Structure formats: structure tokens, C-alpha cells
Copies of this chain bind each other. A is one copy, B any other.
Amino acid sequence: MVTLSEENYLKAIYHLAKPDKASVSTNAIATKMLTKASSATDMIKKLAEKGLVDYQKYQGVHLTEKGRFAAVFVIRKHRLWEVFLVKKLNFSWDEVHEVAEQLEHIKSEKLTQQLDAFLDHPTEDPHGDPIPDCEGNLPSTQKILLAQIERAESCICVGVKDSTSQFLQYLDKHNIALGTKIEVLSKESFDESMSINVKNHQLTISKEVAHNLFVKIS
């Protein structure tokens, strides 16, 4: 049995470890969990005892296969609930995170399966993040940050990196949603701002925005 707190730590470790295979530091975990390093150390020991992470003092942690699956399964539930909230209960994409943070801990295999079926087995959540299947596999996606585009080119918004409501509401305000076509017109080398065209409206976006929007070349 994995407790609610343990699930949250596993998720944090999973997200921190995502890009590479490097070990995740105690401090990184504490920062992500908004707790102190000593609390993280305590929890790491519990996770290690349960076989959810590999841990050597002072050397950070790695998720074990068991830990990775537990983390991915919570993420699967989180994202399915987000889809439910947006598609069925008329939440907007900037309102779902908090509620999904609670719903993701509900324990019922049948609930998850049936919810998945009810939603027609979605593969992405409302922010464009992939939903792991029931075996814990993530559909591989090939998305790049808008900021990585260097020349005038056309692309499609496929996800957000930052999913705080501030950023999502900024996108709403400028009519940028998943699937929206974005034409890059130019990029300012001084401040990395970009001039783009969205639905026939020209718009200048900052480096910060460009670094938090995932696109695919169209």
C-alpha cells in the first residue's frame, strides 16, 4: 500500500528524473514538494524500504521499476480526470489541476478503467500531455519548444510546459489553444522575443512564453 504522500513524492521524483537517467537530489525533491530537505530524506528512506526507489546516502535516488510504475499510474489517473473535468464537466484547462491533484489518489482499478473507457481512451490531457496506458507506457511524442524555432516557419500548438493558470489564461486571451496554428514571422536575437501570427492576428511573445509552449512543425 502506497500512501497519498508517498504517491506525491513518487510523482515529483518521476518528473524530476524524466529527461535523463541521472539521480534525483534530495534538495530537488524537497523544493518540488515545498518541504524541507530533512523531510525529503525521511520520505526517501520510507520509499527505499518499500522498494520504490534505489537510494544511497548522499547520492540521491532513482525510481525502481515498481516506483516508476506507481508514479506513472498516478499520472495516468491525474490526466484522465483532467480530461473528464474539461470534456464532461465544462472546466477550463486552467481550472483542472488542483482538483485532479485530489482525484488522482482515489484507489479503484475499476474506476480508472471505466473512466478511461467512458472518455474513449484519450491519449492526451487538456494541456497536451500524453496519458500513459494501463501498462504504464507513454506514447512517444515529438514536440519541440516554440523557442527552438529559429526561422520563419509554421507550426501547431501541441502542449504547454508551464500549466499554471496564469500562463493558460494568457494563452486563452490570445486565442492560443491546443491545435492552434502558429506562424513564426521573426525572432529578435536581442531578447529572444518572437513575432508570430495567430488566427490572422500578429502578436509579439516574450522568451518566457516561447519557452513554455510546445509545438510541432506543420
Residues of chain A touching chain B, judged by Cβ–Cβ distance below 8 Å, are 85, 88-91, 95, 98-99, 102-103, 106-108, 110-111, 114-115, 118
Contacts and interface: CB of A to CB of B under 8 A. Distances in A.
A106 B111 contact: no
Contacts of A110: 91, 95, 99
A65 to B, nearest CB: 27
Interface of A is mostly: helix
A114 B90 contact: yes
11 contacts: A85-B111, A88-B118, A89-B114, A89-B115, A89-B118, A90-B114, A99-B106, A99-B110, A102-B106, A102-B107, A103-B106
Given A85-B111, A91-B114, A102-B106, 17 more contacts: A88-B118, A89-B111, A89-B114, A89-B115, A89-B118, A90-B114, A91-B110, A95-B110, A98-B108, A99-B106, A99-B108, A99-B110, A99-B111, A102-B107, A102-B108, A103-B103, A103-B106
